[in-house]
Structure 1
Amino acid sequence: MSAYLVFNYRINDREAYDPYLAAVPSILEAHGAEILAADFESEGVEGDAGHVTVVLRFPSKEAAKGWYDSPEYQEIIALRLDNCDGLAVLANGVGS
């Protein structure tokens, strides 16, 4: 079953964050992820949403966790976490 990882955040330091943007696509591809949405001007409809929203599809939750925990991603994750405020949510898709 597909799984979806949804990020929503505000960038606090764009210059320090930009190397993350350059590095993350190849790591996602290596782990079978598909970028379904990536919007740097997203609009909140409810709650206090950030201006960046990214939706990723993985073959499974295990694949998503494998990407997130991979040495390649862990090497760059601080570029996002240290320069952004927000959240990430992992959810199963519907169906089999």
Structure 2
Amino acid sequence: MTAYAIAHLRPADGPVHDEVLSYIERIQATMEPYGGRFLVHGAEVEVVEGEWPGALVLVAFPGVEEIRAWYASPAYQEILPLRTRHFDGDVVIVPGVGPEYDAPATAAAMRAARDRAAA
């Protein structure tokens, strides 16, 4: 099942640092052995609710294990400080849903669990 690495990054004020540019130049090569590919990278977001300071990065991988292996890989760990020294951010791993996913069924299961807990 496809899984996603999602980053909400908030850069420091000022011009983009050379280390960040080096990170961007090198990151794709670290993802390729694990089947990772960018879905969103550097696009301006349109905020329709709440606030969203910063940038969004969305990367798809074949599964959660591939993301974990990529993130822990020596190749990625080598370049990671190039970003973290210049950006604050949050990074999460989330599994996707398949074509059979049914939101009403999810709501029904959540309702049943809530009602059992309240009883």
TM-score by length of 2: 0.72
Matched, 1:10 2:13: no
Match for residue 57 of structure 2 among 32, 49, 54: 54
Instruction: Choose 1 or 2 for highest CA Rg.
Output: 2
Count the aligned residue pairs. Answer: 96
Residue 76 of structure 1: how far off its partner (Å): 0.5
Structure having greater relative contact order (Cα 8 Å, sep ≥ 6):
1
The one-character-per-residue Cα deviations of 1:13-55 (angstroms, maximum 9, x if unpaired) are: 6213111001101111122102111124324444442331111
Percent identity between matched residues is 34
Residue 11 of structure 1: how far off its partner (Å): 1.6
CA RMSD of aligned residues (A): 1.8
Q: Any unmatched runs of 5+ in structure 1?
A: none
User: Structure 1 residue runs of 4+, over 3 Å off?
Assistant: 43-48
Give yes or no for contact 1:7–1:86 (8 Å, CA) kept in 2.
yes
TM-score by length of 1: 0.87
